[in-house]
Structure 1
Amino acid sequence: MNENLDLIWENCLHFMRDNLNAAEDHTDLKKLENSFDLLFDKVQPLSLENFNLTLLVPSDFYKEYIEDNYLALLSAALKKNIGKGVKLWYSVMENKPQGKEEAITLNMKGKTTVSPKVQQTRPPSVSSELVNPFAIPGMKKVEINSNLKADFSFDNYVEGESNKFAATVARSIAKRPGSTAFNPLFLHGGYGVGKTHLGHAIGLEVKASFPDKVVLYLSSEKFIQQFISAAKARKQTEFSNFYQMVDVLIIDDIQFLSGKSATQDSFFHIFDFLHQNGKQIILTSDKAAVDIMDIQERIVSRFKWGLSAEIKSPDFDTRRKIIVDRLSRDGIVLTDDMLDFLAAEAQTNVRELIGIINAVIAYSTIYKSELSLELLKDTISKIACSKKKVINIPYIQDVVCEYFGIKREQLLSKTRKREIALPRQLAMYFSKEYTNATFTKIGEEMGGKDHSTVMYACDTIRDVGKMDKEIKKYLKDLTEKIKK
Structure 2
Amino acid sequence: MNENLVLIWDRCLQFMRDNLNAAEDNTDLKKLENSFDLLFDKVQPISLVNNNLTLLVPSDFYKEYIEDNYLSLLSAALKKNIGKGVKLWYSVMENKPSGKEKPITMNVKGISTQQPKIQEARPVLRENNVNAFAVPGIKKINIDSNLKADQSFDNFIEGESNKFASTVARSIAKRPGSTAFNPLFVYGGYGVGKTHLAQAIGLEVKSAYPEKVVLYQSSEKFIQDFVKAAKSQNKTDFQHYYQMIDVLIIDDIQFLSGKAATQDSFFHIFDYLHQNGKQIILTSDKAPADILDTQERIISRFKWGLSAEIKSPNFDTRRKIIVDKLSRDGIELTDDMLDYLASEVKTNGVRELIGVVNAVIAYSTVYKSDFSLDLLKDTINKLATTQKKTINIPYIQEIVCDYFGIQREQLLSKTRKREIALPRQLAMYFAKEYTNATFTKIGEEMGGKDHSTVMYACDTIRDVSKIDKELKKYIKDLKEKIAQ
TM tier relative to shorter chain:
0.5 to 0.7
* Cα displacement string for residues 375-419 of structure 1 (whole angstroms, at most 9, x for unaligned residues): 222323343697869979996567569xxxxxxxxxxxxxx984x
Counterpart position of 2:454: 465
Cα shift at 1:192:
0.6
Structure number with greater Rg is 2
1:381–1:387 CA contact under 8 A, matched in 2? no
- Supply the distance in 1 between the matched residues of 2:315 and 2:30 (Cα, whole angstroms): 48
**Number of equivalences:** 328
Amino acid in the other structure paired with 2:376? L
Q: Which runs of 5+ in 2 are unaligned?
A: 1-18, 33-130, 406-415, 430-445, 466-473
Alpha-carbon displacement from aligned partner over 1:76-132 (angstroms, at most 9, x marks no partner) = xxxxxxxxxxxxxxxxxx999xxx89344149999xxxxxxxxxxxxxxxxxxxxx7
Root-mean-square deviation (CA, aligned residues, Å) is 3.7
Equivalence for 2:100:
none
Q: CA offset at residue 358 of structure 1?
A: 1.2
- Counterpart residue type for residue 464 of structure 1: T
Q: 1:292 to 1:182 in 2, by over 3 A?
A: same
Q: TM-score, normalised to structure 1's length?
A: 0.60
Paired residue for 1:342?
A: 341
Report the alpha carbon displacement of residue 343 of structure 1 after superposing the two structures with TM: 1.3
TM-score (norm 2): 0.60
The residue correspondences of 1:40-189 to structure 2 (distance < 5 A) are 102-106=24-28, 133-134=132-133, 136-189=135-188
Once residues 236 and 362 of structure 2 are traced to their aligned partners in structure 1, the CA distance between those partners, rounded to angstroms, is 50
Q: Distance in 1 between matches of 2:211 and 2:349?
A: 35
Per the TM alignment, residue 234 of structure 1 is displaced from its structure 2 partner at its CA by 0.3
Change (3 A) 1:262 1:339: same
How is 1:304-453 mapped onto 2 (pairs within 5 angstroms)?
A: 304-344=303-343, 345-383=345-383, 396=400, 399=403, 418=418, 422-423=421-422, 425=424
TM-superposed CA distance for 1:167, in Å, is: 0.2
Give CA-to-partner distance per residue, 1:22-73, whole Å, 9 cap, x none.
xxxxxxxxxxxxxxxxxxxxxxxxxxxxxxxxxxxxxxxxxxxxxxxxxxxx
CA distance in 2, matches of 1:108, 1:428: 37
SS in structure 2 of the partner of residue 324 of structure 1: helix
Cα 1:207/1:95, change in 2 over 3 Å: closer
Measure the CA separation in 2 of the matches of 1:429 and 1:109: 32
Q: Judging changes above 3 Å, is the alpha-carbon distance between structure 1 residues 341 and 472 closer, same or farther for their aligned structure 2 residues?
A: farther
Q: CA deviation at 1:462?
A: 8.7
Q: Which residue of 2 aligns with 1:6?
A: none
The sequence identity of aligned pairs, in percent, is: 63
Contact 1:187 1:311 in 2 (8 A): yes
Structure 2 residue aligned with 1:202: 201
Q: What is the letter of the counterpart of residue 468 of structure 1?
A: A
Higher RCO, 1 vs 2 (CA within 8 Å, ≥6 residues apart): 1
Matched residue SS, 1:308? strand
- The verdict on how the C-alpha distance between 1:135 and 1:297 changes in structure 2, with shifts beyond 3 A counting, is closer
- Equivalences for 1:243-254 in 2 at 5 Å? 243-254=242-253
Q: Give the structure 1 partner of residue 69 of structure 2.
A: none
Describe the shift of the 1:317–1:427 C-alpha distance in structure 2 as closer, same or farther (beyond 3 A): farther
CA distance in structure 2 between the partners assigned to 1:297 and 1:260 by the alignment = 13
Unaligned runs of 5+ in 1: 1-93, 111-131, 402-415, 431-456
What one-letter code is carried by the residue in structure 1 that aligns with 2:229? A
Deviations 1:407-438 (A, max 9, x none): xxxxxxxxx984x55445568999xxxxxxxx
Aligned to 2:219: 220
